[in-house]
A and B are shown apart, each in its own frame.
Chain A
Amino acid sequence: MGMKTFEQLDETLHFEELENGLKVYVLEKKGFNKTYATFTTHYGSVDNHFKPLGKNEEVKVPDGIAHFLEHKLFEKEHGDVFQDFSKQGASANAFTTFNRTAYLFSTTSDVKKNLTTLIDFVQEPYFTEKTVEKEKGIIGQEIRMYDDNPDWRVYFGLIENMYHHHPVKIDIAGTEKSIAKITKDTLYECYETFYHPSNMILFVVGPVNAQEILHFVKENQSQKSFKEKAPIERFFADEPPAVAKTEKIIEMTVQTPKCYIGFKEATPKRKGKELMRHELCVNLALEMMFGKSSPNYEALYEEGLIDQTFSFDYTEENGFGFSMLGGDTQSPDELVKRVSNMVEAFKQDNISTDSFERARKKKIGAFLRSLNSPEFIANQFTRYAFNEMDLFDVIPVFESLQASDVEEVLQNHFKKEAMTVCQVRKKKS
């Protein structure tokens, strides 16, 4: 059993890797009512081409299957697991991202009972042809709900523009057509491969006793048998650094157009501290260029090209990475022109120490603020861990960065040929 204290943050993290490979983390949060637990597999929408556990042939599975599996794990022979949680006063949920599927609950009572329910339901799949068919109607409506959401459409449109082959461009939920091909057998195949304990992390945060929780989870796992752990073979086609498409316009029934500008990362192969430094640097660069206290933000706002919906972010995982910025705008083409000129001008200039320091302070404050949230801690810690990073290194890494580090990412990441644009515009009647 391990323990790591982050003195500056007044937090102690307990962890242990069990015999079957499952990694368990517990963070005690005194004074909170709520305990929040996530059970996450390192498996998401991009993992659609792999070698199933114990087989020699690689397979390609239908788009949207990781998300479909997430829905179906909740259904058991005795009924719906949501009900088991709510009988125990907990609310449960789950979500699927590009490379994670997380199952979670939050509760203010019966932590151990709920923890057992969480671990057991994820580790005991029950798929039948009938229940798989029934789910297609529900997920079909979920897909349509997203189809009507212009923010989602513009976000995904931008990612589609960037990638030639990488499956990050596939909508997480798939399409009504692709999910029609899902059967109980394909679900089991994905499950067997990706839900092995050695591919998963359990994170518990709340007013708990860490030793007790670790012991309890160990006990639960020791009563179950699992196949020998084996590395998972996933396949991704080679992705060229240039964008697949430089522009796309989607017409929808909206009043205000939306416009996002993306920069595709050319070498998204980093891991660990290197990835953390890079992510934080690109985010600092964005903050300095377009943060609310920047001259660029002020100019764009004053010219009426952006409003309060304007935002930006950089994200990178194994195999893909991109920054995006934008929001609602009355003049999308003008916004694109201005932003790309601003990026170019910023690259020419020297970085001011003042604005570097200010951006860093802002980011450190924002990070401290997010540590108020047990949800943030559990979800982000898991995401970082899958990429061999430690969430609690964020502040020391921020403090170790120099303006010259930002200079470097400015030149390497924000390249003209890496830029692409996606707009949602008002449909002409």
Chain B
Amino acid sequence: MKGAFIQMGIVNHEKTDLHGITVHTIETKKYKTTSFILQIKQSINEKNVTKRALLSYVLQSGTKDFPSSKELRSALDDLYGATLNADLSKKGENQVISIRMEVANEKFLSKSEPVLDKAFHLLSQVLLAPALENGVFKENIVKKEKRSLKQQIESIYDDKMRYANKRLLEEMYESEPYHLNVYGNENEVDAITSKELFDYYQEVIMKDRIDLYVIGDISTKEMVEKVKKHFRFSENRNETVETDKQNREEKKISEVKEIFEEQDVQQGKLHMGYRTYTTYSDEDYFALQVFNGVYGGFSHSKLFINVREKESLAYYAASRFESHKGAVFVMSGIETGNYEKAVKIIKEQHEEIKNGNITDAEFEQTKAMINNQVLETIDHPIGLSEVLYHNVVAGTNRTIEEWIEGIQNVTKEDVVSVAKKVTLDTIFFLKGAGTNGNENI
């Protein structure tokens, strides 16, 4: 054990650094299950983005002992329907693979079965003992998962909100890695060979930052022993997560980029991207949280009140932000003809905050809602692991109590100064061309 870090309070979070992996244990009796969340982090880049996406598909499709999807799924079903899934997310300029497993707590089963140890073993095998043939990933798994990945990439086009969001990022971050789609590029998928993918996998195991969260009615000591037993990494492992320092100095904006695209949709999708020049580790991060809350995070926020309630222009009008890239995104579904009007109102609301026009009620409401939101998030095992994982991504050590206190201490002046930094960069509007989806037969 290299070192332990214990955090008591709202959650009992204990952190143990082992060779190759950091174990985070949260002992709690709240749940009827035990959750495992593996987070595998590397910087996102053009060269590997598609391979990394494909890898997350391949790893959950078979292990050495259960070398096909069907066998692996049967093993999970036998473990009282343990769930296993891998997915991808972009956290700042990182492409994170999350492998999650959830298994019933033995004490709630009528026949007591040792599911926990089996689950531990299975999870470690998913990461460290994949299904191979001739020393590389099994060809037929790779082939199938390529198809699934391509379908996943294509499906973004069919969900117009996601599509508009993707297009906004491509335009806004044209020359930064953040523009990359977390699922990679469709036209690169076919060319990846099993060998290339396996070589890349070995690089992941040697270099990526790996964290494991275990949440449930567990004992830290026992879990750490199990990790030591099941998760063995090579002596030569050398963690190297590249960070692109240049991208911290974000580009200044001289002119707002406005992009229009037309499709046969009933409702126009308006997406606006702002740079904030503030990220999770910054001091004014809490002020940015409150800014986003006053602007568009809730149903009392300026966007909801003005775009929806006062003008009936939309069903949804909201903002959200990305903590590690430091961006605020506004989205609203509107009538195509109302574009100018909606954009004007959305911009005006930002100006209002810059000018300090925030009532005491909306300010206090926002803080109460953020407080509520974080406490609710940590009621859920995945939510809790995500909140804690922010610290790993940002290289900070913030406790949940500090987080809550940080929000409480924000003043209106703090929100005004952060609002002045927040700058509109790009507007993407997916316009409707008008007609209904035709029904045949």
List A residues at the B interface (Cβ < 8 Å).
Answer: 8-10, 29-34, 80, 82-83, 86-92, 106-109, 134-135, 137-139, 141-142, 144-145, 147-150, 153, 247-256, 291-295, 297-298, 301-302, 304, 307-309, 328, 330, 358-359, 361-366, 368-369, 371-374, 399, 427
The contact of B151 among A134, A251, A256, by CB within 8 Å, is: A256
Are B439 and A307 in contact, with the CB atoms below 8 A? no
B73 contacts across to A, CB distance below 8 A: 291-293, 297
Interface size class, chain B: 35 or more
In the complex, chain B residues whose CB is within 8 Å of the CB of A256: 151, 154-155, 158
The main secondary structure of chain B at its interface with chain A is mixed
Alpha-carbon gap, A144 to B315, bound state (A): 10
Q: Which residue of B lies closest to A141 (CB)?
A: B315
A295 near B266: Cβ-Cβ < 8 Å? no
Give the complex CA separation of A255 and B193 in angstroms: 26
Are A33 and B159 in contact (CB-based, < 8 A)?
no
Query: Chain A residues with Cβ under 8 A from B233's Cβ?
Result: none
**A358 touching B265 in the complex, CB below 8 Å, given contacts A83-B365, A247-B441, A369-B102:** no
A90-B372, A361-B80 given; A147·B437 CB < 8 A = yes
B435 (CB) vs chain A CBs: closest residue? A427
Taking A87-B364, A149-B160 as known contacts, 12 extra A-B pairs with beta carbons closer than 8 A to each other, sorted by chain A number, are A29-B30, A32-B379, A106-B376, A134-B312, A248-B441, A251-B439, A253-B265, A256-B158, A291-B77, A292-B69, A293-B74, A302-B144
Cβ B81 vs Cβ A363 within 8 A: yes
Chain B nearest CB from A110 CB (Å) reads: 9
Q: Do A145 and B376 contact each other (CB < 8 Å), given the known contacts A89-B369, A372-B32?
A: no
Partner of B369, one of A8, A86, A330, A374: A86
In the complex where A109-B372, A256-B154 touch, is A83 in contact with B300 (Cβ < 8 A)? yes
Q: Is the CB of A369 within 8 A of B369?
A: no
Q: How far does the Cβ of B302 sit from chain A's closest Cβ, in whole Å? A: 13
Contact B69 A298 (CB under 8 A): yes
A252-B437, A365-B104 as given contacts; A308 in contact with B148, CB under 8 Å: yes
Query: Do A307 and B437 touch across chains, with their CB atoms under 8 A apart?
Result: no
7 intermolecular pairs with C-beta atoms under 8 Å apart: A9-B108, A80-B309, A91-B298, A148-B267, A293-B70, A304-B147, A369-B102
Return chain B residues, CB-CB under 8 Å to A374.
379
Q: In the assembly, what is the distance between CA of A284 and CA of B114, in Å?
A: 24
For the complex, give the distance between the alpha carbons of A228 and B312 in Å: 39
Asked whether B375 is an interface residue with its Cβ less than 8 Å from the other chain, the reply is yes
User: Across the interface, which residues of A come within 8 angstroms of B315, CB to CB?
Assistant: 138-139, 141-142, 145
Choice from A9, A87, A302, A364 contacting B361 with Cβ under 8 Å: A87
**Does the CB pair B437–A427 fall under 8 Å?**
yes
Residues of B within 8 A of A138 (CB): 308, 312, 314-315
Instruction: Assess the B372–A87 pair: CB atoms within 8 A.
Output: no
- Minimum C-beta distance from B150 to chain A (A): 9
**B58 vs chain A, min Cβ distance (A):** 13
Closest to B332 in A: A141
Task: Judge whether B70 and A298 touch: CB under 8 Å.
Answer: yes
CA distance A363 to B264 in the complex (A): 41
User: If the complex has contacts A83-B300, A86-B300, are A371 and B32 also in contact, measured as CB distance less than 8 A?
Assistant: yes
Name the one of B103, B152, B371 contacting A307, with C-beta atoms under 8 angstroms: B152
Residue pair B372, A91 in contact (C-beta under 8 Å) = yes
Known A-B contacts A141-B334, A369-B83; A253 and B263 likewise in contact (beta carbons under 8 Å)? yes
Q: Is the CB of A148 within 8 A of B266?
A: yes
Q: How far is the CB of B299 from chain A (nearest CB, A)?
A: 4
CB proximity of A285 to chain B, nearest CB, Å: 15
| Chain A residues positioned under 8 Å from B334 (CB to CB) | 141
Residue B134 CB within 8 A of the other chain: no
Identify the interface centre among B140, B157, B333, B369: most chain A CB within 10 Å of its CB.
B369
State in angstroms the CA–CA spacing of A87 and B366 once bound together.
8
The answer on a CB contact under 8 Å between A358 and B74 is: yes
